[in-house]
Amino acid sequence: MQLNLILDYIEYSAEIKMANSIITNGLLFTEERLDELIAHGLDSITVSRDTLKGNYFDKAAELKGKASKKLLMLCLDRNLRDLEVSMAISKDNIEEIPEMVRQNTSVGIWTSFDPLHWSKGQPESKCPPFKDVESAIVKPGDEEVIRNVMTELLDMKKAGYLIHPSRKVLEMWMQPENIFKHNWKCFTSWLTIEADGTVYGCDDYQPPEFKGRYNITDFDLETFKDFREEWNFAIKKCPGCFWSTHVMSCEMLKEPTGGNYFRHEVTGC
């Protein structure tokens, strides 16, 4: 997306008091760009960082890891309302999560994490093919380490550490089938609106016939009815996932205060 569009969206959302956030690996960030975004109203950033020990999956991950660390240091000096680290969990870094949480919490940074996902053949998937990640994913045989880590994280969450996944999500990790198969399904679906107004359901699953058909600027009642029918059809065909934000949206956004937790304004849940 063009930087000027990002600045416009952030400025407008700040004007109408809508929460905004950017998720980035830090590769394209400079100190000047960060300050420009903040000046336009950005007050929340999520930075992808997968390891403290340098256990990078590949060279690209190493480059992103070094960039993310640099960006986090810049953000800490700028008094942002909200700062979060997001980890993609593999068998190489799962045991690092508690220490990542400790270090992040000590400087006021939240930690979120999801298992490394792979594409199940769904069109437009943001995930790599299974063959590219097979050696890194947690799989049957890793049950003990998963349960040990999640038990520690549940205790840390109760103690007030800044862990974004809810207790329910951590408890679902304790049932490793959720991690091995990624077959959890939401009761509705994620709604995605792109910068150009393109609207579709889940950002990780789009039936081919759905792509590019709808734009929010063209919606009227009849168009929305057609969209809703196709959206429901897509939900039924979805192969499932285990993205913690999707799980938590179904679990928490039904509650009046659910949005407060997503904005990190409360530490419970």
- Each residue's pLDDT, cut to its tens digit, for the chain (269 residues) gives 577 888 888 999 889 988 888 998 888 888 999 999 999 999 899 999 988 876 555 666 677 777 888 899 899 988 888 899 999 999 989 999 999 999 999 999 999 999 988 887 766 677 888 888 888 889 899 999 999 999 999 999 999 999 999 998 999 999 888 888 888 887 666 778 877 788 877 777 766 666 667 888 888 888 888 888 888 877 777 888 888 888 887 777 666 666 676 666 666 55
d(C-alpha 37, C-alpha 141), whole Å: 45
Indicate whether 119 and 35 sit together in one domain.
yes
Q: Are residues 120 and 196 in the same domain?
A: no
Tell me which residue range forms the domain holding 72.
3-181
Q: In what order do the strands lie in the sheet with 110-115?
A: 22-24, 44-48, 82-89, 110-115
254 within domain boundaries: no
Give the 3-state secondary structure of residue 178: helix
Does 205 share its domain with 106?
no
Q: Is residue 261 in a domain?
A: no
Together in a domain, 207 and 143: no
The candidate with the shortest Cα–Cα distance to 179, out of 221, 139, 133, 232, is: 139
Kindly state whether residues 162 and 32 are assigned to the same domain: yes
Question: Any idea what the Cα angle at residue 161 is, between residues 242 and 126, rounded to 5°?
Answer: 25
How far from the centroid of its chain's Cα atoms is residue 208's Cα? 24
> Is residue 246 situated within a structural domain?
no
- Characterize the bridge pairing of strands 22-24 and 44-48: parallel
How many domains does one find in the chain? 2
Both 107 and 149 in a single domain? Answer: yes
For the chain, strand residue ranges (E) read 22-24, 44-48, 82-89, 110-115, 192-193, 199-200
Same domain, 18 and 145: yes
Backbone phi and psi for residue 115, each to the nearest 5 degrees, phi listed first: -65, 150
Looking at the fold, whether 90 and 215 belong to one and the same domain comes out as no
